[in-house]
Amino acid sequence: METPYMLEDGYRIDLPKLAVGTHHFRTTLEAPFFALFPDSPVHKGNVQVDLRVQRSPTQADIRLTLEGVMVLECDRCFRAYEYALQTEQRLIYDQDSSLKELDDSQTEVFHLPAGTRFIELKQDLYDFVVLALPYRRLPADCPGPACPPQVLRILEQTDDEPTTDAPAATEDDALLDPRWSALAALQKKLPHSDN
């Protein structure tokens, strides 16, 4: 088994160093990588990137496999959870600017001007991770909603601070966990200042 090389400076390929043939690289995407993108919806994780580069005199054909976990926030309870991510992508850089896009959503074709030194992969790696994230972030083991703020207020409340504007817990919330129903019932029993 050949040992893959680390990518140049983490996330780029130094083309003049690549002889014609196949090359194997790897890199790891963790918090410092995602910190390079201020608008990133994700910040923590560990994604291993494996790259196979087929170099010809006029082309670099890069096949990437990204595999690892990203830390996401549950849409319902806001707890952090680990999402297993796996995606395969392909980037073709070619000196022939007329090369057509392949009929394949996993492959992107770019023009490679003659004399180009570096292929910078930072943005592509970031895009691949973000595109591989689920639209709905709800792990199967979600324990239910976090204690709603209005319930926390009731639990912390003293008699001289009756609840005023707290909206009632919805039926949907109450169905998720019997403890919330109990708290919602407690909330209904409390006097309201506007009564």
Binding site for Zn ion (CB under 5 A): 74, 76-77, 142
Least distance between Zn ion and beta carbon 59 (Å) = 46
Return the number of the residue (63 or 76) whose C-beta is nearest Zn ion: 76
Return the number of the residue (19 or 80) whose C-beta is nearest Zn ion: 80
Return the number of the residue (17 or 79) whose C-beta is nearest Zn ion: 79
CA 42/CA 57 separation, integer angstroms: 38
Name 9's bridge partners. none
Return the number of the residue (69 or 74) whose C-beta is nearest Zn ion: 74
Torsion of CA 76, 80, 86, 91, to 10 degrees: 100
Torsion of CA 156, 162, 168, 169, to 10 degrees: 10
Least distance between Zn ion and beta carbon 67 (Å) = 24
CA 12/CA 6 separation, integer angstroms: 10
CA 181/CA 130 separation, integer angstroms: 37
Least distance between Zn ion and beta carbon 181 (Å) = 18
Least distance between Zn ion and beta carbon 176 (Å) = 10
Residue among 36, 55, 57 at smallest CA distance from 122: 36
Q: Which is it for strands 107-111 and 12-14: parallel, antiparallel or unpaired?
A: unpaired
CA 119/CA 130 separation, integer angstroms: 20
CA 143/CA 132 separation, integer angstroms: 24
Return the number of the residue (130 or 142) whose C-beta is nearest Zn ion: 142
Least distance between Zn ion and beta carbon 139 (Å) = 6
Least distance between Zn ion and beta carbon 161 (Å) = 30
Return the number of the residue (136 or 189) whose C-beta is nearest Zn ion: 136
